[in-house]
Chains A and B, each alone.
Chain A
């Protein structure tokens, strides 16, 4: 876990309800600090870059100076233009521009490298952390929003970290140089300039939080927008089948419009900030000229000095204006940064005990549920008083009405969630103490909603055991009796399954999901409606294959088709969050409870 900042959620009790944060509470400064901490590449070797940048800036300041010298002392020299002097000055300036140009190039490349490397690290880190969050925390945000956090939000930062930071340093340096020179020329006028800066500083400081909020709103809208678009793409079939294109359009349009409005609002604020910087520059020049005239008239400086001082004022106000612009960019970056940091600093409530965790040996597995109760965040109890023991080498069927809590039970068993009360033990060890790699090796679940990657069948099955050779996968398919199906596909295992497996039929997707879990070869296999869309003949075949092959293993199958229950050693009946019966099918079927009713209706369906 990476709760390193003191501002991050330190209230562990609320962890179970944690939502993905926006880290709005982080100040600009804290955000920057945390951001740099997360992307150390951003500051690595920065001093070299800064030196080079200062060098390049020096060159840029030098050139107008040389030009001015060439004009004053060359062309306008007393006694006619001094061609030699001008040529020398011109060559010097040309040399300087080539050198500074080169330095600038190096600076740019170094900055790009540092920025992109730092941001890549940040993306990967955030991505990983999203996967480490519990399923419940993940589901507090739309997928589109999560995608935004590792893509567009990070992109927002890049502009600032590429140039903003370094420009700020260079600008400060330029301001310092200009200040020193101004004080040398005329301390009074330098004081005047600084008096003029004060209102600007006040204004900019006041404006920062407002800008920050405006940019934050834009980021939020981008997340919404992507969420809405994602829904319209993933729900394409439903939208077409129900002819609700217009309604979907209206929803997306709303999100687009809100994004547009937020973006324009933020832009207007940033223009106001920029204009105030510009006003400062102009007004300062005017006031300096007025005060300077008074001073010059009173012989406290010469006209030449006054005009030279104006040049310095320009040298000073330019970086100040630039800084106000960079502060804009900073707020924009911070808005994106906050969202990324918000993810990374969201505590992973169902977390891997990691190296401290227990590693269990493989082999037959015992499962115990001890006084389990569970409620989803903000909801009622969906499981209560669950006490169960699954002996090793048994086939358990979990049955119950829709919404009775079967999937919830499976999720607790596989530690996708932690119980609100009680403990789940395997081989006598609390699940929370078992290292994830050991746990995931021993227990594998085929979820109710299977998911396939946009890859070949082969790669999808290999997901169950990444190190499996092609032959292992072919063998697994044969063992499961899926060869006849494969031979019907022209490309066999090389068949592409399409996005989310959409190029397969629903039943075929389930076959792949089962093969995948089978390949993983766990000690405990949890099947949540894993064959609900498979035809009965195939289902029976697969069940036989699994039975033969998993003999000696523990398996938990959730099913509405009670054929599964008939074949199991133990049937667990769940009713509205309570375990109402446990025992073999033969016993329960005549006991006159919920199961008897369910089975009667099932049997009636079978006879017809």
Chain B
């Protein structure tokens, strides 16, 4: 609970930020060519119209206002001319602004949406081990805040491009009037550039830290809200608030730091063009005095400068956004570049009859999740990803296990807590790949099979049920087009038809996020129905009836027996009845197969097995004995 205090990054000056920023912009522009062109077109129109406005006022003053004032006679034609010329320019200006702003925001939001799709696809594609080292809250923040940070720059960008157009127009004009004076004016640009370089250097590590802390705030909030019930049950609201307050205050301080830099940069960027104007005035006056230049020329140049002062600020905004954009993009990109998604082959699996699952000599070790990855860290080593495990490895969860589940048979996996049963079931259905050894279905190596093929054939009812925030029907079908009677049939087999029909809306009843409106056993039964409805050739039940009462469990297992021809079943269980349904029992301890055989065989040959399955009976017997003792005493 100390994530806030972990140093997340080392501030590091990076002179390449501007270059990277331009690359990010270019990446975005390339993907939104059309919309972006419209925005730039609008910006150019706006820039032209802005320059034209100054011209138009001069024009009507000279051709309509002055004559009228001098003659003392007002003609309606003259007044109309004033109005229409100004109004015409205004219309162009407005059209430019609308085009620019609307298109710019469409481009920006399109990019955001595009990258959100990419990032969330990547979340779905990356292996579970990657998820283990990347907290959910951080991933949420990545999908929203980082992407926003990366592409928000598209809002001011077209305006900045418009400003460039203005600068070109004004610059040309200045050069035409007096190249020497223009040169002094252009000194402004190296000034802006230098200021900006310093700014980027200071800003970039600060923004990196702020974005990381933003993600951590989301992470703590997400975790804490998921733990809501526990926090309440233990009365730890204050402690959790303190924890959240810790990261939030870190974020606050870091944002204030960002603000300091930004707060300094803006006045500087504003001052530089003004100082340029003043320099032009001073030098210009001297040149007029020495007779090199006419007064009117200086005035014109000074005027050109002064109308540029405000738009140049827009350039400043874009420059100020660049570090944020780069940091956001880097964090997003690190997810997109993350390697280690499962490789799939081209093969198919047979679709008929019960499946034969065989794993030979498989071993698997989890990576120690000691270090949490920092998204987009500049040093790739800081983002270990799945392929560079850091820290000591856990003891192997599965060690050289050979497991044979013949077609049409039921095999039970039995073993103490933490012995590797769930890990083995994940291997059998290729949720994870073994470090060594092979896993096959009907003799076909699972790694050579197409994506999506294994779930078609084998189905897992996980130890922990997961429900989607959907109606009951969708939780059973998971989107497959199935008639209601098939769904009901599966619910009946799982003994879930009774309570589902009692719920308001029956199949359309909403069950809340993670199935919160159901009891634990009800969730398990829906999860069972979800598996049954798919009529898998291989059904893997990982302690899937732990929250179901004994009588119902028997009914469910009996139901499976009836419908289960053509189905191979691998079941993790402790209960004797479940175990007894099995044709064959495999007993695991510490990731290794210690013994296997029938129940009767194991009772004789394997002490650990006997201890485990007879624990209750022995306990009951001892209690009875104690009670009897007490009575006799």
CA gap between A231 and B466 in the complex, in Å: 10
Q: Which of B516-574 contact A (CB under 8 A)?
A: 516-522, 525, 530, 534, 543, 546-554, 574
Q: Which of B553-601 contact A (CB under 8 A)?
A: 553-554, 574-580, 590, 599
Known: A225-B144, A256-B116. 15 other contacts (CB 8 A): A64-B306, A81-B295, A108-B266, A117-B252, A147-B140, A229-B143, A230-B136, A236-B123, A241-B429, A268-B102, A271-B105, A279-B90, A379-B504, A439-B235, A540-B619
Chain B minimum-CB-distance residue to A415: B232
On whether A226 and B140 interact (CB within 8 A), knowing A123-B248, A402-B548, A560-B546, the answer reads: yes
Is A297 an interface position by the 8 A CB rule? yes
Q: Which of A90, A297, A403, A416 contacts B69 (CB 8 A)?
A: A297
Q: Which of A67, A108, A113 contacts B302 (CB 8 A)?
A: A67
Q: Which of B132, B225, B577 contacts A608 (CB 8 A)?
A: B577
On whether A447 and B229 interact (CB within 8 A), knowing A131-B240, A151-B145, A306-B65, the answer reads: yes
Is B25 an interface position by the 8 A CB rule? no
Stretch in contact with the other chain, from A185-193, A259-267, A384-392, A470-478:
A259-267
Inter-chain contacts of B306 with A (CB < 8 A)? 64, 67
Is B394 an interface position by the 8 A CB rule? yes
Is B360 an interface position by the 8 A CB rule? no
**Judging by beta carbons under 8 Å apart, are B611 and A537 in contact?**
yes
CA gap between A594 and B61 in the complex, in Å: 100
In order of increasing CB-CB distance, the 10 nearest A-B pairs are A440-B235, A112-B259, A108-B263, A243-B455, A402-B521, A507-B417, A282-B90, A605-B577, A536-B615, A101-B267
**Judging by beta carbons under 8 Å apart, are B97 and A97 in contact?**
no
Interface-centre pick from A71, A508, A604 (highest chain B CB count, 10 A): A71
Classify the secondary structure of A's interface with B: helix
Is A490 an interface position by the 8 A CB rule? yes
**Judging by beta carbons under 8 Å apart, are B478 and A244 in contact?**
yes
Inter-chain contacts of A496 with B (CB < 8 A)? 368-370
Is A365 an interface position by the 8 A CB rule? no
A-B contact pairs, 19 of them (CB 8 A): A71-B298, A75-B288, A76-B299, A105-B264, A109-B256, A139-B517, A146-B225, A230-B222, A237-B466, A243-B456, A247-B479, A278-B94, A282-B90, A414-B233, A448-B547, A500-B223, A505-B421, A540-B615, A601-B550
Chain A minimum-CB-distance residue to B552: A402
CA gap between A86 and B287 in the complex, in Å: 12
Inter-chain contacts of A534 with B (CB < 8 A)? 417
**Judging by beta carbons under 8 Å apart, are A241 and B455 in contact?**
yes
Is A370 an interface position by the 8 A CB rule? no
Stretch in contact with the other chain, from B72-80, B159-167, B197-205:
B72-80
CA gap between A405 and B617 in the complex, in Å: 28
**Judging by beta carbons under 8 Å apart, are A448 and B520 in contact?**
yes
Stretch in contact with the other chain, from A8-16, A204-212, A333-341, A458-466:
A458-466
Is B427 an interface position by the 8 A CB rule? no
B413 shortest CB reach to chain A, Å: 12
Is B110 an interface position by the 8 A CB rule? yes
**Judging by beta carbons under 8 Å apart, are A131 and B241 in contact?**
yes
Is B19 an interface position by the 8 A CB rule? no
Is A307 an interface position by the 8 A CB rule? yes
Q: Which of B117, B285, B534, B549 contacts A83 (CB 8 A)?
A: B285
**Judging by beta carbons under 8 Å apart, are B68 and A563 in contact?**
no
**Judging by beta carbons under 8 Å apart, are A536 and B68 in contact?**
no
**Judging by beta carbons under 8 Å apart, are B83 and A105 in contact?**
no
B402 shortest CB reach to chain A, Å: 21
**Judging by beta carbons under 8 Å apart, are A520 and B140 in contact?**
no
Q: Which of A74-121 contact B (CB under 8 A)?
A: 74-76, 80-83, 86-87, 89-90, 93-94, 97-98, 100-102, 104-105, 107-109, 111-113, 116-117, 119-120
Stretch in contact with the other chain, from B171-179, B268-276, B404-412:
B268-276
**Judging by beta carbons under 8 Å apart, are A402 and B519 in contact?**
yes
Is A27 an interface position by the 8 A CB rule? no
CA gap between A83 and B293 in the complex, in Å: 14
Q: Which of B112, B233, B267 contacts A444 (CB 8 A)?
A: B233
Inter-chain contacts of B315 with A (CB < 8 A)? none
**Judging by beta carbons under 8 Å apart, are B395 and A506 in contact?**
no
Q: Which of A506-547 contact B (CB under 8 A)?
A: 506-508, 511, 516-517, 520, 529, 532-540
Inter-chain contacts of B117 with A (CB < 8 A)? 249, 252-253, 256
**Judging by beta carbons under 8 Å apart, are B615 and A537 in contact?**
yes
On whether A303 and B237 interact (CB within 8 A), knowing A297-B72, A454-B223, the answer reads: no
**Judging by beta carbons under 8 Å apart, are B87 and A282 in contact?**
yes
Q: Which of B222-280 contact A (CB under 8 A)?
A: 222-237, 239-241, 244-245, 248-249, 251-252, 255-256, 258-260, 262-264, 266-268, 270-271, 274-275, 277-278
Inter-chain contacts of B123 with A (CB < 8 A)? 229, 232-233, 236
**Judging by beta carbons under 8 Å apart, are A87 and B454 in contact?**
no
On whether A535 and B547 interact (CB within 8 A), knowing A285-B86, A496-B369, A500-B226, the answer reads: no
Chain A minimum-CB-distance residue to B465: A238
Chain B minimum-CB-distance residue to A236: B131
CA gap between A167 and B486 in the complex, in Å: 64
Q: Which of A278, A401, A601 contacts B97 (CB 8 A)?
A: A278
CA gap between A139 and B229 in the complex, in Å: 10
Q: Which of B71, B116, B226, B623 contacts A566 (CB 8 A)?
A: B623
Number of interface residues of B (CB under 8 A): 187
Chain B minimum-CB-distance residue to A162: B259
Is B633 an interface position by the 8 A CB rule? no
Is A203 an interface position by the 8 A CB rule? no
**Judging by beta carbons under 8 Å apart, are A485 and B231 in contact?**
no
CA gap between A243 and B431 in the complex, in Å: 10
Is A353 an interface position by the 8 A CB rule? no
Number of interface residues of A (CB under 8 A): 189
B40 shortest CB reach to chain A, Å: 16
**Judging by beta carbons under 8 Å apart, are B223 and A264 in contact?**
no
**Judging by beta carbons under 8 Å apart, are A256 and B68 in contact?**
no
Stretch in contact with the other chain, from B8-16, B213-221, B351-359, B376-384:
B213-221
On whether A105 and B231 interact (CB within 8 A), knowing A75-B288, A606-B617, the answer reads: no
Is A7 an interface position by the 8 A CB rule? no
Chain B minimum-CB-distance residue to A510: B417
**Judging by beta carbons under 8 Å apart, are A116 and B228 in contact?**
no
B430 shortest CB reach to chain A, Å: 9
Q: Which of B69, B83, B286 contacts A286 (CB 8 A)?
A: B83
Is B418 an interface position by the 8 A CB rule? yes
A387 shortest CB reach to chain B, Å: 22
**Judging by beta carbons under 8 Å apart, are A109 and B259 in contact?**
yes
Is A43 an interface position by the 8 A CB rule? no
Stretch in contact with the other chain, from A28-36, A287-295, A422-430:
A287-295
Is A44 an interface position by the 8 A CB rule? no
**Judging by beta carbons under 8 Å apart, are B274 and A97 in contact?**
yes
**Judging by beta carbons under 8 Å apart, are A234 and B369 in contact?**
no
On whether A75 and B237 interact (CB within 8 A), knowing A112-B256, A147-B222, the answer reads: no
On whether A128 and B241 interact (CB within 8 A), knowing A112-B256, A402-B521, A416-B233, the answer reads: yes
Is A180 an interface position by the 8 A CB rule? no
**Judging by beta carbons under 8 Å apart, are B223 and A453 in contact?**
yes
On whether A90 and B282 interact (CB within 8 A), knowing A244-B478, A271-B102, A502-B132, the answer reads: yes
Inter-chain contacts of A119 with B (CB < 8 A)? 252
Q: Which of B80-120 contact A (CB under 8 A)?
A: 82-83, 86-87, 89-90, 93-94, 97-98, 101-102, 105-106, 109-110, 112-113, 116-117, 120
Is B187 an interface position by the 8 A CB rule? no
When each residue 131-152 of chain A gets 1 if its CB lies under 8 Å from chain B and 0 otherwise, what string results? 1100100110011101100111
Is B21 an interface position by the 8 A CB rule? no
When each residue 56-84 of chain A gets 1 if its CB lies under 8 Å from chain B and 0 otherwise, what string results? 00000001100100110011100011110
Q: Which of A116, A286, A296, A406 contacts B255 (CB 8 A)?
A: A116
**Judging by beta carbons under 8 Å apart, are B590 and A237 in contact?**
no
Is B483 an interface position by the 8 A CB rule? no
Is A398 an interface position by the 8 A CB rule? no
Chain B minimum-CB-distance residue to A81: B288
Inter-chain contacts of B90 with A (CB < 8 A)? 278-279, 282-283, 286
Interface-centre pick from A234, A259, A499 (highest chain B CB count, 10 A): A499
